[in-house]
Amino acid sequence: MQQLQGKVAVITGGGSGLGRELALCCAARGMKLVLGDVDEKGMQETLRLVEAQTPGTESATMRLDVSKLEQLQALAELCTSRFGAAHVLFNNAGVSVGGAAWENTVDDWEWVMGVNLYGVVWGVKTFTPMMIAQGEGHIVNTASAAGWVNGPNMSVYNVTKHSVVALSETLALDLRDAGANVGVTCLCPAFFPTGIHESARNRPADKGDTVELSETALKRAELTKAAIQKGKIQASDIAEMTVKAVEEDQFYVFPHRKIKQLIGLRAQAAADEKTVFDSMNP
């Protein structure tokens, strides 16, 4: 979608981190914003920053949980009633939990699968028909390097992000088959500084039973936190690359070049029927 000026951007997880930076980037291109997040305060802070950077940006927010289909449907209705359309959907809200697959609780699985996978599925299910009907649109799914390369202590997260990659590729193929003028972008960043390592701040009480991390898992979690905080590429850079990918109808975005090498190593090792883990997971 070459021309974004005046179009409507819908951003889940718009109250923090990458979602906030996507909002700033979209506003800078003259887009109208519809933000959805469980964190109302975070969204208001995003809008404050947007107003300071691009005064007069038209916007709306909705407090919602992306794991619930009916709440995504309400977000779509807000887009229609307020702006008459939704042109670019960023399925971006995401959370993380550590632990080994057999130790993670049912709540761990349901919470993270609900936000990271079903949040994207419901976004696609709700907004794609609108975009097909209006004759144009673009869907951006925030996956992760974890959608390609499996690090330890991140079972649930890795599963969701691989699924988002699979969903994005299949969605693009099916849209092509349907002759729809709707683009797809799959964003796969490695670690960068945001609030993701503090995901539990937005964990619902009814999904509160979590894994007790082993000593090894706690060390792994500390390493992950440090990697996130020390990430050299900033959320603002990644947002800019992503919005550019929408403008250029680019499918994959790998902001961290090293990930492309690791994907190549993983693919080659699999093709050779060899283990990939020792070389890839320090």
Ligand X SMILES: NC(=O)c1ccc[n+]([C@@H]2O[C@H](COP(=O)([O-])OP(=O)(O)OC[C@H]3O[C@@H](n4cnc5c(N)ncnc54)[C@H](O)[C@@H]3O)[C@@H](O)[C@H]2O)c1
Residue 72 as a binder of ligand X (CB under 6 A): the answer is: no
Query: How many positions of this chain bind ligand X (CB under 6 A)?
Result: 31
Grouping H, G, I as helix, E, B as strand and the rest as coil, residue 11 is strand
Please identify which residue in 25, 75, 76, 115 interacts with ligand X, judged by CB under 6 A.
Answer: 115
The single residue among 7, 9, 10, 15 that binds ligand X, judged by CB under 6 A, is 15
Cβ within 8 Å of residue 132, ≥6 positions away: 175, 178, 180, 182
| Residue span binding ligand X (CB under 6 A) among the ranges 62-70, 99-107, 148-156, 206-214 | 62-70
Tell the smallest beta-carbon distance from residue 124 to ligand X (Å): 14
Active site residues: 157
Among 50, 95, 121, 245, interactor with ligand X by CB under 6 A:
95
* 272: CB partners within 8 A, 6+ apart: none
**Amino acid letter, 184:** V
> Is 147 an interacting residue with respect to ligand X (CB under 6 A)?
no
221 CA to centre of own chain? 21
Cα–Cα distance, 27 to 9 (Å, whole number): 9
Residue 19 contacts ligand X per CB under 6 A: yes
17 touches ligand X by CB under 6 A = yes
Task: Restricting to residues 167-226, name those near ligand X by CB under 6 A.
Answer: 189, 191-192, 194-196, 199, 202
Residue 92 in the binding site for ligand X (CB under 6 A): yes
Take residue 112 and report the two structure tokens written for it.
Answer: 């993270």
Q: Does 42 contact ligand X by CB under 6 A?
A: yes
**Which residue, 119 or 183, has its beta carbon nearer to ligand X?**
119
In the bound state with ligand X, the residue whose beta carbon lies nearer, of 41 and 176, is: 41
When asked if residue 108 is in the footprint of ligand X (CB under 6 A), the reply is: no
Q: Rule CB under 6 A: is residue 142 a binding residue for ligand X?
A: yes
Q: Does 65 bind ligand X (CB under 6 A)?
A: yes
| Residues found near ligand X in the complex (CB under 6 A) | 12-13, 15-19, 37-39, 42, 64-67, 92-95, 115, 142, 144, 189, 191-192, 194-196, 199, 202, 228
